[in-house]
Amino acid sequence: MTLTVYGASLSPFVRKVRVFLAEKGEAYTLEQVNIFPAPDWFLEISPLKRIPVLRDDSEGADATLPDSSAICGYLEKKFPSPALYPQDAFQYGKALWYEEYADSELAGNIGMGTFRPMIVNRMMGKEADRETADKTFNEKLPRFFAWLDKEIGAKDFLVGGAFGIADIAVGTQFVNLAHAGFRPDEKTWPNLARYLAAIHARPGFAACIEEETALLKKFGL
C-alpha cells in the first residue's frame, strides 16, 4: 500500500482524511499513533505534534504531509476524480470557508466541550464531566446548529450541488458529537438533522462510524 495515514481512529481530522480517501476510492493503511505523548519519530513528521499525517511512498522515501487540510488539498491534485472541491472559483472559496469553520470553532467546541469531557476523560480512567458537556451542548453549540441549518436549507450538500470537502469537514465533527452522546434536535434544526443523517450514511463515513463504535464498546463506552 503506498498511502499511509498516521493517526488515531477517533480523531475528527483523521476521519476527515479517511473519508476523503474512501470517496476517492483510494486504499491506504491506517497506522495508529498514540499522541499522549507523541513518540519522537512522530515529532519529526508532525512538528505541531498533531494527527493526521499522510505518507505517500510513491513520492519518495520522506514524502510525509501533516494537517488534514493540506492532505486533502494534496489528494485532490493527485487523484482528481471524483472531484471533491468545486471547480467554480467562488464555490471553491465557499467550500474552503466551510472547511475552516468546521476545523476551527466547530471542532474546538465539540472536541473540548463534549468529546473530551464525555469520552477522552473516561478512556483515561477519569470520571465523565457531564456538566461541561451539557453546558456546551445547551449553551454554546445551538448557534452553530442554527447557522448550519440555515446554510443547508433544502439542499443535500453544502456547496455546488455535489458532495465534497465542506460536507466531509462538517460531517466529521458531528461524528464526535454523536460519540459523546449528543445530536442536534431534529425538530429545532430539521435541515441539519436530515443532512447529517444522509452524509453519515455514505459508505466512507458509515465504515468509520461502525469501526469507532466497536472500539468505544471495547472501552465500555
Tell me if 69 contacts ligand GSH by CB under 6 A: yes
**Nearest distance in Å: CB 10, ligand GSH:** 8
Tell me if 136 contacts ligand GSH by CB under 6 A: no
Among 50, 94, 194, 202, contact with ligand GSH (rule: CB under 6 A): 50
Between residues 67 and 149, which has the closer beta carbon with respect to ligand GSH? 67
Binding to ligand GSH, residues 98-117 (CB under 6 A): 103
Site string for ligand GSH, 1-40 (x = CB under 6 A): ----------xxx---------------------x-----
Between residues 67 and 151, which has the closer beta carbon with respect to ligand GSH? 67
Cis amide bond preceding 37, omega within 30: yes
Between residues 49 and 130, which has the closer beta carbon with respect to ligand GSH? 49
Chain positions contacting ligand GSH, by CB under 6 A = 11-13, 35, 49-52, 67-69, 103
